C-alpha cells in the first residue's frame, strides 16, 4: 500500500484481487454505499481489505467482477459516533490491472469529500 498527498488530501492505493462486490445499501437519509473487498498479495499473509464506494462511486464497480486484478485508490476517513471512533477507507478511483483489464474508472481526477454530514439518530451513518 502506498500513500501520498494529493491536493491537500492524504490518498492511498493498493493492488489486489476483488474478493467481494457488495450490493448497494441505501439508508433512510438517502445516503448510499457499496462495499468492495480486495485481497492483497503484497504481504507475506494476504489481507482482505474492505473499502467503501460512497454515493455515485458505487457505479465504478459495475465494470468489474470477483477475481479481477485491480488497483484501488482511496482515502482514509475517521469519525466519532456516540463516543466511539471509526475509520473507513473510501474509494475514489479504480483501475483494472493485467491483460484484458477494464478501462480505468474514476469519478474525477481528485478525491472528494463524500462524507454524509446529515444526522439520523435512528440509524448509524455507516
Domains of the chain by start residue, with CATH: 2-106 (2.40.50.140)
- Write down the pLDDT at residue 119: 46
Q: Per-residue pLDDT for 45 more than 50?
A: yes
- Write down the pLDDT at residue 123: 52
Tell me the pLDDT of the chain averaged across its residues: 80
**Which set of grid coordinates corresponds to residue 81?**
459516533
Q: Per-residue pLDDT for 121 more than 50?
A: no
Least confident segment among 28-32, 47-51, 65-69 = 28-32
- Provide mean pLDDT across the span 89-100: 86
How far is it, in rounded angstroms, from Cα 113 to Cα 45? 32
- Provide mean pLDDT across the span 102-111: 48
SS3 120: coil
- Provide mean pLDDT across the span 34-44: 90
- Write down the pLDDT at residue 100: 53
64-77 b/e (C-beta count within 10 Å ≥ 16 → b):
beeebbbbbbbbee
Amino acid at each position: 500500500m502506498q500513500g501520498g498527498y494529493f491536493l491537500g488530501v492524504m490518498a492511498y492505493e493498493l493492488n489486489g484481487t476483488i474478493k467481494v462486490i457488495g450490493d448497494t445499501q441505501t439508508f433512510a437519509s438517502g445516503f448510499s454505499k457499496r462495499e468492495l473487498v480486495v485481497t492483497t498479495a503484497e504481504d507475506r499473509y494476504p489481507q482482505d481489505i474492505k473499502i467503501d464506494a460512497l454515493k455515485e462511486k458505487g457505479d465504478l464497480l459495475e465494470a468489474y467482477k470477483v477475481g479481477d486484478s485491480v488497483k484501488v485508490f482511496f482515502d482514509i476517513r475517521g469519525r466519532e459516533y456516540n463516543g466511539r471512533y471509526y475509520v473507513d477507507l473510501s474509494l475514489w478511483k479504480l483501475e483494472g490491472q493485467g491483460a484484458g483489464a477494464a478501462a480505468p474508472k474514476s469519478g474525477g481526477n481528485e478525491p472528494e469529500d463524500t462524507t454524509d454530514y446529515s444526522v439520523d439518530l435512528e440509524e448509524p451513518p455507516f
